[in-house]
Structure 1
Amino acid sequence: MKHVFSQHCLSLAHHYRHRSPRCRGRYFLAAILTLGFISPGWSDDDDWRRLHEDVQAGKIKPLNEILASLNTRYDGQVIDVDLEDENGVIIYEIELLGPQGQVVEFDVNAATGELIGIEGSNIRGMTRP
């Protein structure tokens, strides 16, 4: 399931209350939908609470840290972010739009922040010197 965010809506759970109602709603919905894989029986409030708790407990890195790390190495604008469970490993799947119009997906281990995969075309065109 894919969720598209505008750049200013990509915020951490603890910044949730400081965003516009439109952004809060978009992020809240995305958090519920993307975290549904953890426990389908949870209520919406439990999903949001779990995301917040996992970030606060250091189980997963905050999205802004992951994006800042990518930004030091790659030039692009965020066009999509997903949180996926791949065999028990939580992965941020982040799509960036590069300066030449290329779309590249970066897979980042949410717990460690390690870049574990890159897929797309003209990746070198996004690499920062």
Structure 2
Amino acid sequence: MLALGLAPSAVGEQTWRPLHDEVGRGEVVPLEAILDWLEAHYQGDILEVEVEREKGQVEYEIKMLGPQGQVVEFEFDGHSGQLMSIEGVRIDAMRRD
């Protein structure tokens, strides 16, 4: 089960609104598309999702728990949807054929 929470100050300040608008305009890939890609290519359960903005660029960081108990972090470019990096152990054991 995945639980996502927002701090009251983040909701009150509506810091999500600019990102929501960018997704709506097609400037940022929707999180759902990233998660669909991960499900098609890797097996495991989502542990955590973070959306970060670095130097104006949106990045998705997603941690997955693999079938052997390994934790692997995937980093995606939010504008193109491209996988930028993978960190962890036994990553090949998570790949789908």
1:88 Cα offset (Å): 3.1
> Where in structure 1 do 4 or more consecutive aligned residues deviate above 3 Å?
none
**Cα distance 1:52–1:86, how it changes in 2: closer, same or farther (>3 A)?**
closer
Aligned pairs, how many? 96
Paired position in structure 2 for 1:113: 81
Instruction: Provide TM-score, normalisation by structure 1.
Output: 0.66
Q: Distance in 1 between matches of 2:43 and 2:80?
A: 22
Give the % identical residues.
Answer: 40
* Structure 1: gaps of 5 or more residues: 1-5, 10-22, 34-42
RMSD: 2.1
Instruction: Provide TM-score, normalisation by structure 2.
Output: 0.86
1:51 Cα offset (Å): 2.2
1:59 Cα offset (Å): 1.5
For 1:94, give the aligned amino acid: I
Paired position in structure 2 for 1:91: 59
- 1:42-63 alpha-carbon deviations (Å, 9 max, x no partner): x613x23212211101111111
Paired position in structure 2 for 1:20: none
